[in-house]
Amino acid sequence: MELLFVILAIALGIQVAVVFLLVSKYFETRFSYVIWWTAGAALLAGQALVEVWMLTAAPILPLVGIRSALLLAGAGFFLTGTASRDPRARGIVQTGLLGFGGLVIASVIVLLSRQESTDTARLVAGLAAGMAFLLTAEAYRRTEQILDDVATRAVFAGLLAIGINQIGWAWVQRTPQVIAASEFLGGLAVAVFGAGIQLRSVGRAQRLVVLSQISAALSRTGRVGDMLEEVLHQAGRLLQLHTGWAFLHDPVTGTYELAAAFQLPPGFEHDDRKALHGSCRCLDLLQANELTQPVNIVDCMRLDRLGVKARHASVPLRTTTGVVGLMNLVLPSGRLFSQRELALLSTVGSEVGVAIERSQLLDELQDKERLRSDLIKKLLTAYEDERRRIARELHDETGQSLTALILNVEMLRNLVEQGRGASVDELDRLKALAEATLEEVRKMIYDLRPTILDDLGLAAALRWYVHHQVEPRGLVVGLKLELGDARLDPVLETAVFRIAQEALWNTVKHAAATRVDVALALSDGRLRLRVKDNGRGFQDKRRSGNPLAGGAGLGGMEERATLLGGTVRITSAPATGTEVVAELPLPAPAA
Ligand SMILES: Nc1ncnc2c1ncn2[C@@H]1O[C@H](COP(=O)(O)OP(=O)(O)OP(=O)(O)O)[C@@H](O)[C@H]1O
Ligand SMILES: [Mg+2]
């Protein structure tokens, strides 16, 4: 008898411990279903206590009634809590309530009508509670969808075992030994359930640690390669990875290249990590857009080639615009990532993707900043060069002409003083000299800023520029200016004139072309300029990663257009020449 009490005390102790565990889980998580489970476990413990009590006293009916009621209520609480976790399990709640409620009513009727039969009451209550636990286990499985880790399996198995334990003993004649055995097995099942709950919370805490460490790593480092290296290192340490590596998409070559690695096996390190270059199944899937979520890749060709029998998880690194890379993580042999771990990796993958995007945007911003400051420098230099040119022209040409004019006037004055009079020829020469000087001054003024642009507008200024600067250099120009004499916003007119001037001057300077076509048109509230030559074409070096390559002309064109909310598209090929298309919106009329 003593031994039976010890066994029952152990079973009771386990149940009380699980109740305390659940209370602490509730304070940790604040999930309402944990309260239901706590209440259920407390009632089961109460039921075990009454059972112990009944061993010492005669099994009188009220005690049997109380025990059965505690058992049924406990089972009901478990079922309610579990089903309430998932709205899709409503069907189970209804079935549970109907079946379970029917059994409760049946047991009450049995208790009331056949007061002498405690065994029947036990049988009915045991069956009802057992069924309720089986339903609870099923509801839990449905909510979790997949039981692929130890924690969820333990919770499910615990609930199932409690149910089977109740149903199994319902048929057996109750002796003290049977009671002790059933309570002991029930205690064990509750212990398995409690262990599962505890493991789940450890897993949750571990996932939080992984996420926070990885977030910290992502905010610490700036370069994409270093960032991936750090993430792999953290993930490797926290998830006990065997090895791991990451590929990044190279926008220039369009291929995926190795960007970081963690604890590579010796075979991979060999020959400059040759085994990690080139295509493989996971990259093929990624490129075919079939790898959108982390998956356990069953066989890895690279690992296969090395003779390593292991599988890896492939985690796509996603940004807002698409996939930029792939992380492959290998667990020690025989272990695969559970669904929950894959979901965690999915979050990690998006976090890394966002960080990569941020870093790329920063790089882009820095490039643009560098380009802008280079343009400003070039602009200032050009400004000074222009002043130097004007000073030189004023000195060499206008100054010389005016000096010659003064000398000639002086000479004429002397002649007049000596009473010899000035000849008509000499006066004509002087006039011609003055006219040539005026022409030079006019040319300089036009070069500085064609007054025609202010006086007559964009179309007239373009026509003037073509006739005076382009055609004299041997180019045939096709002009198609569909603006008429319409006047546009002066800022817009200047910008388009300067873009056309740069495009035409580039054609003169670089294209070795024989013909250039200039078209200007207004449509849909946008001004469209197209300059197309039939010259040698070129490769825009700025597109191949160096925005500062070449002169400031192309960058300046784009900068001018961007400032006014427009675009410049440059298409060029050796066979077809160069086409510059600028599109700028007309400014909204002032309110
Ligand atoms: N129409 C064209 N045909 C052939 N090559 C061109 C043409 N336009 C530009 N290029 C090439 O692109 C390069 C960059 O042009 P960009 O206008 O930016 O500089 P640049 O004309 O050399 O100098 P800058 O305009 O600052 O005086 C040129 O050096 C030239 O090689
Ligand atoms: Mg240029």
CATH code of the domain in which 247 resides: 3.30.450.40
CA angle 216, 219, 223 (to 5 degrees): 125
371 and 468 in a single domain? The answer is no
Q: Residue whose CA is closest, atom 9 of ligand 1? A: 506
Question: Which of 187, 208, 229 is a domain's end point?
Answer: 208
Query: Which amino acid, residue 490?
Result: P
pLDDT for 505 beyond 90:
yes
| Ligand 1 site, residue 507, Cβ cutoff 6 A | yes
Phi then psi for residue 212, to 5 deg, are -70, -40
Of the listed ranges 202-211, 460-469, 582-591, the least confidently predicted one is 582-591
Phi then psi for residue 54, to 5 deg, are -70, -20
Q: Is 431 contained in some domain? A: no
From the CA of 475, the nearest ligand is 1
| Ligand 1 site, residue 533, Cβ cutoff 6 A | yes
Q: Give the domain extent around 302.
A: 239-404
161 and 268 in a single domain? The answer is no
281 and 376 in a single domain? The answer is yes
Question: Which of 339, 373, 404 is a domain's end point?
Answer: 404
From the CA of 547, the nearest ligand is 1
Q: Is 219 contained in some domain? A: no
Percent of the chain with pLDDT over 90: 27
Count of domains observed in the chain: 3
Confidence of residue 548 (pLDDT cuts 50, 70, 90): very low
Residue scoring higher pLDDT (276 or 20): 20
CB atoms within 10 A of CB 423: 11
pLDDT for 357 beyond 70:
yes
Q: Is 9 contained in some domain? A: yes
Sequence-ordered strand ranges (E) for 73-147: none
176 and 33 in a single domain? The answer is yes
**Cα–Cα separations (whole angstroms), residue 3 to 6, 177, 184:** 5, 10, 12
pLDDT for 516 beyond 90:
yes
Phi then psi for residue 335, to 5 deg, are -110, 140
Q: Residue whose CA is closest, atom 12 of ligand 1? A: 550
For the chain, first and last CA: distance in Å?
99
**Cα–Cα separations (whole angstroms), residue 169 to 12, 55, 125, 344:** 18, 17, 11, 42
CA angle 220, 224, 225 (to 5 degrees): 105
182 and 322 in a single domain? The answer is no
pLDDT for 519 beyond 60:
yes
CA angle 127, 128, 130 (to 5 degrees): 65
Alpha carbon 7 to its chain centroid, in Å, reads 57
pLDDT for 547 beyond 60:
no
Q: Is 227 contained in some domain? A: no
Tell me the CA–centroid distance for residue 253 and ligand 1, in Å.
Answer: 25
| Ligand 1 site, residue 574, Cβ cutoff 6 A | no
Average pLDDT estimate for 345-351 = 89
Q: Is 446 contained in some domain? A: no
332 and 459 in a single domain? The answer is no
Question: Which of 387, 404, 421 is a domain's end point?
Answer: 404
Tell me the CA–centroid distance for residue 507 and ligand 2, in Å.
Answer: 9
CB atoms within 10 A of CB 84: 17
493 and 379 in a single domain? The answer is no
Atom of ligand 1 nearest to the CA of 556: 18
Residues with CB under 5 A from ligand 2 (ion): 506, 551, 553
pLDDT value at residue 380: 81
d(CA 570, CA 572): 6
Confidence of residue 160 (pLDDT cuts 50, 70, 90): very high
Tell me the CA–centroid distance for residue 543 and ligand 2, in Å.
Answer: 16
Which CATH number does the domain housing residue 488 bear?
Answer: 3.30.565.10
Which CATH number does the domain housing residue 168 bear?
Answer: 1.20.1070
Residue 365: both structure tokens together = 């911003």
pLDDT value at residue 555: 84
pLDDT value at residue 111: 64
CB atoms within 10 A of CB 499: 23
361 and 463 in a single domain? The answer is no
HSE, CB side, 13 Å, CA atoms: give it for residue 256. 24
pLDDT digits (tens, 9 = 90+) for 256-287: 888 888 888 777 777 777 777 777 888 888 88
Q: Is 311 contained in some domain? A: yes
**Own/partner pairs, 122-127, CB within 8 angstroms, 24+ separation:** 122/64, 122/68, 122/170, 122/174, 123/170, 123/171, 124/68, 125/67, 125/68, 125/69, 125/71, 125/72, 126/71, 126/166, 126/167, 126/169, 126/170, 127/103, 127/166, 127/167, 127/170
Question: What are residue 248's DSSP bridge partners?
Answer: 257, 325
47 and 192 in a single domain? The answer is yes
pLDDT for 501 beyond 50:
yes
Query: What is the pLDDT of the chain when averaged over all its residues?
Result: 85
pLDDT for 544 beyond 60:
no
Q: Is 395 contained in some domain? A: yes
Residue 91: both structure tokens together = 């069907």
Tell me the CA–centroid distance for residue 154 and ligand 2, in Å.
Answer: 74
Q: List the 322-330 sheet strands across, edge first.
A: 256-262, 243-249, 322-330, 312-319, 295-297
d(CA 404, CA 400): 6
CA angle 293, 294, 295 (to 5 degrees): 110
389 and 457 in a single domain? The answer is no
d(CA 146, CA 140): 10
- The DSSP annotation for 371-392 comes to HHHHHHHHHHHHHHHHHHHHHH
Q: Is 204 contained in some domain? A: yes
Q: Is 223 helix (H, G, I), strand (E, B) or coil?
A: coil
Q: Which residues contact 244 (CB under 8 A, 6 or more apart)?
A: 232, 235, 236, 261, 262, 263, 312, 327, 328, 329, 330
272 and 350 in a single domain? The answer is yes
**Best mean pLDDT range from 109-118, 284-293, 569-578:** 569-578
pLDDT digits (tens, 9 = 90+) for 122-146: 788 888 889 889 989 998 998 888 8
pLDDT digits (tens, 9 = 90+) for 337-347: 888 888 888 88
Tell me the CA–centroid distance for residue 516 and ligand 1, in Å.
Answer: 15
300 and 377 in a single domain? The answer is yes
